[in-house]
Amino acid sequence: MMEALLNVSMNSSFDVTPLTRPKYLYAEERLWSIQASTPAWPFIIVFGLVSNITNIIVFSKAGVKDNVSTLLFSLAISDIAFLILISPHACFWVIWTFTSSPEMLRQPLADYERSDGVYPWPFHYQFVFGLFYWPAFTASDLSTFISLSLGVMRCACVAIPLKFKAVFTKSRTVKWVVFLVVLAVALRAPVLTIFRVTPRLDPATNTTHPYVSTVNIASMSRINDIVNRGFVIWFNYVVMVSCVCLLSYKLYQASKIRRSCTNKTSPQSAQSMSSTDVQVVKSVVLVCTIFILAQLPLLLVSLSRLLNMNFQAFGRLMGLFGLISNVALTCSLLNASVNIFVYYNFNSKYKAAFLSLFRSSNTTNTRESRTN
């Protein structure tokens, strides 16, 4: 869907002659997905911003002292960056949904700029729709890489517990996060460079306005499809699923060892994990599982585009493409918003700092009310 409007933006004029629209499938299903998903996006984004700001404050209060807390702190920052950058794009969809007729919503998104009766933006709509879209998903990629690192580090901790602390130090973890930032930007560089803000004359008013145009969008989008929506997303998914399977197996082993030790009333085996390690592994497994579930729609889009050329912005399956894309964006927003529940229930340090933060806040408010 994104490429459809960007292509129109590059070649469009102010002519509003109605287009001859090609028939495409799943138009009603796409309409339903738009009307069902977009009203929820503002609430998810606001909750995500509040929850991740809370995560940053709590982790700062608890102390970012080891590799896991460093990665979780970085994950909260990258999730906030994604939610902030994707907000203009989500706002476009919300406004378009509530200001357009059902007939307009059924039409290809590429018809938007050339149609009558659309929302009268005071500026070129691409400033909200497209300009921050790829930077947002660059931040989302960073969150993906950090989640992947969490899974791999926990697997290493289970596999080489004696060498783990010496290999994965906090300073090395910080350097690794910086490398991941550079990697995320480098991989998205083709689509991060397609936008140009240029002046454009509006013949209707004879005034010049800033205008967002695109350069080399077809070739850059193709590179992005092959690299990021092809190789990278499948590599991340396979590694993440492998980590979750291994960690889940280790949790099962640890529970069996604990039960056998309890039944024999003997000291625990050296192979069993401490209760703290078990909680950390559980939290990492849940964070990775949330990522796996959230990535399923994107994987479906990636695989479908490889198998069927009609499954894209201008194909006959454009309606189905739009439907799954809406679901994928909703899952991405949820993925960036719900980690607070995992941390609170499975991270004892986080929970203690969280409760301490709100207790101190309540104590301060009580003292102020007594003083007044």
Domain presence at residue 364: no
Cβ contacts of 178 within 8 Å, gap of 6 or more: none
Number of structural domains the chain divides into: 1
Say how far residue 323 (Cα) sits from the centre of its chain: 18
Q: Residue 12 in 3-state DSSP? A: coil
Q: Which of 290, 333, 340 is nearest to 86 (CA)?
A: 333
Domain presence at residue 197: yes
Domain presence at residue 362: no
CB 162 within 8 A of CB 192: no
Domain presence at residue 370: no
pTM of the model: 0.81
Domain presence at residue 366: no
Within a 13 Å sphere around the CA of 83, how many CA atoms are in the beta-carbon half?
26
CB under 8 Å, gap of 24 or more: what pairs does 137-140 form?
Answer: 137/82, 137/86, 137/188, 138/184, 138/185, 138/188, 138/192, 139/78, 139/79, 139/81, 139/82, 139/85, 139/184, 140/78, 140/82, 140/86, 140/332, 140/336
**Gyration radius of the chain over CA positions:** 24
Domain presence at residue 360: no
Residue 205: CB atoms within 10 Å? 9
Domain presence at residue 219: yes
Give Dmax over CA atoms of the chain in angstroms: 88
Domain of residue 54 covers 2-350
Q: What is the pLDDT along the chain (372 residues), one digit of tens a residue?
A: 555 455 544 444 333 333 344 445 556 666 777 778 888 999 999 999 999 999 999 999 888 888 889 999 999 999 999 999 999 999 988 887 777 766 666 665 555 554 444 566 777 778 888 889 999 999 999 999 999 999 888 888 877 777 777 778 889 999 999 999 999 999 999 999 998 888 887 777 777 888 888 888 878 888 888 888 888 988 998 999 998 888 888 777 777 766 666 555 545 444 455 666 677 788 888 888 888 888 888 887 777 777 766 666 666 666 677 778 888 899 999 999 999 999 988 888 888 889 988 786 666 555 555 555
Q: Which of 197, 183, 196, 193 is nearest to 221 (CA)?
A: 193
* CATH number of 9's domain: 1.20.1070.10
